[in-house]
Structure 1
Amino acid sequence: MEYSRITSVTDPLFRQVHNLLSEVFPPEEVLEYSLWKEPLEDPGIRVFAAVHEGSVVGTTEYRYYSDWNVAMTDFTIIGREGLGVGRFLAQRRLNDLQKLAADNGKELFGMFAEIYDPYRVEYAFGGIKPMDPFVRREVLSHLGYKRLDLPYVHPSWQGDGEAVSGLDLCFMPGDENLEQIEAALVANFLTRYYAVLADKPEVWTSMVERLKSRDTVPLLPL
Structure 2
Amino acid sequence: MEYVQLTDIKDPLFAQMHQLMQKIFPKEEVLDFDLWEGPLQDNSIRIFVAVNEDEVVGATEYRYYPDTNIAMTDFTIIGKEGLGIGRFLATKRSEDLKQLANGKEILGMFAEIYNPYKVESLPFGEVSVMNPFVRREVLSHLGYQKLNFTYVHPSWLNDGEAVSGLDLCFLPFQENIKSLEGKFIAQFLKTYYSVLSNKPGQWIEMVEELEARGSVELLPI
| TM-score, normalised with respect to structure 2 | 0.98
In the other structure, the counterpart of 1:180 is 179
C-alpha contact 1:126 1:133 (8 A) present in aligned 2: no
1:127-159 C-alpha deviation (Å, 9 max, x unpaired): 211101100000011111000000000000001
Write out the 4+ residue segments of structure 1 that deviate beyond 3 Å after TM superposition.
Answer: none
In structure 1, how many angstroms separate the alpha carbons of the residues matched to 2:175 and 2:5? 29
In structure 2, how many angstroms separate the alpha carbons of the residues matched to 1:193 and 1:63? 10
Listed as ranges, the matches of 1:58-73 within 5 Å are: 58-73=58-73
- Per the alignment, in what secondary structure is the counterpart of residue 95 of structure 1? helix
C-alpha contact 1:112 1:170 (8 A) present in aligned 2: yes
Deviation at 1:126, TM superposition (A): 3.4
In structure 2, how many angstroms separate the alpha carbons of the residues matched to 1:133 and 1:176? 27
C-alpha contact 1:70 1:110 (8 A) present in aligned 2: yes
- Per the alignment, in what secondary structure is the counterpart of residue 204 of structure 1? helix
In the other structure, the counterpart of 2:116 is 118
Deviation at 1:119, TM superposition (A): 1.0
In the other structure, the counterpart of 1:82 is 82
Aligned AA (2:108): G
Structure 2: runs of 5 or more not aligned? none
CA-atom RMSD in angstroms: 0.9
C-alpha contact 2:114 2:132 (8 A) present in aligned 1: yes
C-alpha contact 2:24 2:123 (8 A) present in aligned 1: no
Aligned AA (1:213): A
In the other structure, the counterpart of 1:200 is 199
In the other structure, the counterpart of 2:40 is 40
Aligned AA (2:170): F
Deviation at 1:177, TM superposition (A): 4.4
1:169-203 C-alpha deviation (Å, 9 max, x unpaired): 00000024421012121101100111111101111
Listed as ranges, the matches of 1:130-169 within 5 Å are: 130-169=129-168
In the other structure, the counterpart of 1:15 is 15
Tell me the percent identity.
Answer: 60
- Per the alignment, in what secondary structure is the counterpart of residue 67 of structure 2? coil
Q: Is 1:191 the equivalent of 2:190? A: yes
State how many pairs are aligned.
220
- Per the alignment, in what secondary structure is the counterpart of residue 197 of structure 1? coil
Structure 1: runs of 5 or more not aligned? none
Deviation at 1:120, TM superposition (A): 1.3
